[in-house]
Amino acid sequence: MAFDYDKYIRPGKLPHIWCPGCGHGIVMKGLIRAMDSLNLKKEDTCIVSGIGCASRLPGYIDCCTLHTAHGRAAAFATGVKMAKPEMNVILCGGDGDGTAIGGNHFIHACRRNINMTYIIMNNYIYGMTGGQFSPCTPTGAKASTTPYGNPDPGFDIAKLAIGAGATFVARGTAYHAAQIDKLIAEAIQHKGFSVVEILDDCPTTYGRRNKYRSVIDMMNRLKEVAVPVKAAEKMTAEQLEGKVLTGVLHKVEKPEYTEEYAKVIQRAQAAK
Amino acid sequence: MEKKLPTIEIVEKYCKGCHICVEFCPTKVLEMKGFVVAVKNLEACIKCMQCELRCPDFAIKVTP
C-alpha cells in the first residue's frame, strides 16, 4: 500500500525548495516513515535544525519544529530536552552546519550523551551558500572556493561522533532509501545521543563541479562506495580502500544526561 | 484471470524532473514528458514501489 506522507506534511508547504535530484527529500521521507513506524505523536516530537539546505527540513514536517542559528541546533535542542525530557528531540542538518560551524556543539552533545537523535545529511559541500568546501569535502574535490582541488582531508563524521562519545552511530545513503527509516527508527529508540549520517548527493553545487554528469551518476557512486558492516568483516583492507561502511557502526549503553541531571537536582534539594 | 493494474498518481506540481524514478524503474514504466514525468507503459508495472520510495519530491503515489 502506498505510504501516506501527507498526514505528516504541513499543508501547502510542498513543493520543497531543494534542487531536482537532491537527496534531502529522500531522507525526509525516511524520517517520516520512521516517525510513523514508532507512532510518534506530533505534539511530543520536536525537530530542531540550524541553517542550510538540510536544515529547511523541519519547515515541511507537521510537528513541533525549531529553526535556529547556524550550527546551533544541538545547543537549542539541549535546551528543549532539558526543559521537557519526555519529548522526542530530533536534530537535522547538513555536514557544514553540523561539523564546521556547529562542530563544537556537536562534539559536546555527543560527550554529554543526552537522549536526542542527530540526522546529518552529508552532501560533501555547503550547498545553500554557493558550493564552498566543507569539512567533509574529500581531498582533491572541487568546490567554488577550491577550484584547483581541495587540499584538506575530509572528516569521517561517524568516527568523530564515536570518538566524542556518542552511544549510537549509524550511517546510510540516499541511494539505500529503504534502509534510512530503519536506521532512524533504531536511533530514536536508542537511549542516549544517537547520530545517523546519511551520505547524500548535491547535483547542483558538488556534482557539476566534480564530473558527475547527472543525478543518476551521483546515486550510483553512493551505491558503489557503500559497504554494509557485515559484508566488510569478510573483506580485506585493500578491498575496503575508498569504501564507506553503512549500517549500525556503534552501539553502547552509558548513563543518559537528563536522568543524571535529575539526580543532581535531587541531591541539591536534599542538601537544603 | 485479468491482471489488476496499479494506479500511478503523478503530482505534476511537485515533480522537478530529476529522472530518478525513470532510471530506477526496473521495467521502464515511466518516461519524461517535457520537464515532468509521465506514465508510458502501465501494463509493465511490477508494483515494486521503487519510484515512490526514491522520489525526492513526494510527486509519485503508487496504489497497487
CATH code of the domain covering residue A128? 3.40.50.970
Domain count, chain A: 1
Fold of B7-63: Alpha-Beta Plaits (3.30.70)
Q: Which of A14, A19, A219 sits opposite B58 (nearest CB)?
A: A14
Q: What is the mean pLDDT of residues A128-147?
A: 93
Q: Is residue A7 one of the residues assigned to a domain?
A: no
Q: What is the mean pLDDT of residues A220-246?
A: 91
Q: What is the pLDDT of residue B3?
A: 73
Q: What is the mean pLDDT of residues A84-106?
A: 93
Structure confidence at residue A178 as a pLDDT band (50, 70, 90) = very high
Q: Which of B18, B49, B62 sits opposite A21 (nearest CB)?
A: B18
What tens-digit pLDDT sequence spans chain B (64 residues)? 677 888 999 999 999 999 999 999 999 999 999 899 999 989 999 999 999 999 999 999 999 8
Q: Which of A26, A178, A214 sits opposite B56 (nearest CB)?
A: A26
Q: By residue range, what is the domain housing residue A145?
A: 12-270
Cα separation, A176 vs A229, whole angstroms: 14
Q: Do A177 and B62 touch (CB under 8 A)?
A: no
Q: Is residue A164 one of the residues assigned to a domain?
A: yes
- Which residue of chain A comes nearest to B60, CA vs CA? A2
- The C-alpha cell of A67 is what? 529553526
Q: What is the pLDDT of residue B5?
A: 87
Residue with cell 552546519: A97
- Which residue of chain A comes nearest to B22, CA vs CA? A216
Q: Contact A245/A229 with Cβ under 8 angstroms?
A: yes
Q: Which of A1, A15, A19 sits opposite B13 (nearest CB)?
A: A15
- Tell whether the model's pLDDT for residue A23 goes beyond 80: yes
Q: Is residue A2 one of the residues assigned to a domain?
A: no
- Which residue of chain B comes nearest to A28, CA vs CA? B56
* DSSP string covering B8-57: EEE-TTT-----HHHHH-TT--EEEETTEEEES-GGG-----HHHHH-TT
Q: Which of B14, B20, B58 sits opposite A215 (nearest CB)?
A: B20
- On chain B, the residues whose CB falls within 8 A of the CB of A5 are 58
Cα separation, B23 vs B21, whole angstroms: 6
Q: What is the pLDDT of residue B1?
A: 62
Model pLDDT for residues A32-75, shown as the tens digit of each residue: 999 999 999 999 999 999 999 999 999 999 999 999 999 999 99
- On chain B, the residues whose CB falls within 8 A of the CB of A216 are 19-20, 23
**Which DSSP symbol is given to A59?**
G
> How many interchain CB pairs under 8 A, A with B?
59
- Which residue of chain A comes nearest to B49, CA vs CA? A2
Q: Is residue A5 one of the residues assigned to a domain?
A: no
- Tell whether the model's pLDDT for residue A221 goes beyond 90: yes
- Tell whether the model's pLDDT for residue A1 goes beyond 70: no
- Across chain A, mean pLDDT equals 93
Q: How close is the nearest chain B Cα to the Cα of A204, in Å?
A: 11
Percent share of chain A, pLDDT over 90: 87
- Which residue of chain A comes nearest to B64, CA vs CA? A1
The domain locations on chain B are 7-63
Cα separation, A245 vs A172, whole angstroms: 9
Q: Contact A34/A47 with Cβ under 8 angstroms?
A: no
- Tell whether the model's pLDDT for residue A2 goes beyond 80: no
Q: Do B55 and A25 touch (CB under 8 A)?
A: yes
Percent share of chain A, pLDDT over 70: 100
Q: Do B54 and A19 touch (CB under 8 A)?
A: no
Q: Do B14 and A20 touch (CB under 8 A)?
A: no
E-only strand ranges, chain A: 45-49, 64-67, 88-94, 117-122, 125-126, 132-133, 168-173, 194-199, 226-228, 244-251
- Tell whether the model's pLDDT for residue A260 goes beyond 90: yes
Q: What is the pLDDT of residue A271?
A: 86
